[in-house]
Amino acid sequence: MAGKTAKPAQPKTDDGPKLLSGGNPQIAKGYGDAPVQAYIAAMPGWKSDVGRRLDALIVDAVPDVHKAVKWNSPFYGVEQGVWFLGFHCLTAYVKVAFFRGASLSPRPPVGSKQKHVRYFHIHEDGQFDDAQFADWVRQAAKLPGEKM
């Protein structure tokens, strides 16, 4: 082929999990800490630091918490299959869903179309009150969870 120069072979790289809309990592469904840690590691940019912080606060507040990744989101519960909290990456923030958040005091600030759900959004500045978040987690863990 005259005029064409062969490009040197490039080593194959592992780009990690595919990022879905908003930068949410596509992680296979799984139960336990390993899939949750894989999700957190795959969160893009600053969101990964937020994920590590959330996970640590949740584990500190509820030491024997159960974990899973379902629907490309980490879930936390007091028993397998019954969840009180999950989070998800969106373009501008990490959305934390308290599945019985309407029963928390004070309520997390963002409402939902679902009667019992309340959200807490964490933006790139990462500013939020760790003590308040941990209190919400402890309260949520004592409420009936969502079976999913």
Instruction: Give per-residue pLDDT as tens, 22-72.
Output: 788 999 999 999 999 999 999 999 999 999 999 999 999 999 999 999 999
Q: Give residue-wise pLDDT tens across range 59-110.
A: 999 999 999 999 999 999 998 889 999 999 999 999 999 999 999 999 999 9
Domain boundaries, the chain: 21-147
Omega prior to 109 cis, within 30 of 0? no
Rounded to 5°, angle at Cα 82 from 38 and 77: 50
Q: Is the pLDDT of residue 5 over 80?
A: no
CATH topology classification for 21-147:
Aspartate Aminotransferase, domain 1 (3.90.1150)
Three-state DSSP state, 109: coil
Task: Give the DSSP H/E element, type plus range, for residue 114.
Answer: none
pLDDT exceeds cutoff 70 at 12: no
Tell me which H or E stretch contains 146.
strand 146-147
Residue 8 has pLDDT above 80, yes or no: no
pLDDT for res 15: 62
- What CA–CA distance (Å, rounded) separates 31 from 79? 11
Per the model's pLDDT, the better-predicted residue between 7 and 141 turns out to be 141
DSSP state of 110: B
- Closest to 133 (Cα-Cα) out of 92, 88, 101: 101
Listing DSSP states for 25-89 in one string gives B----EESHHHHHHHHHHS-THHHHHHHHHHHHHHHHSTT-EEEEETTEEEEEEETTEEEEEEEE
Q: What whole-number distance in Å separates Cα of residue 17 and Cα of residue 5?
A: 33
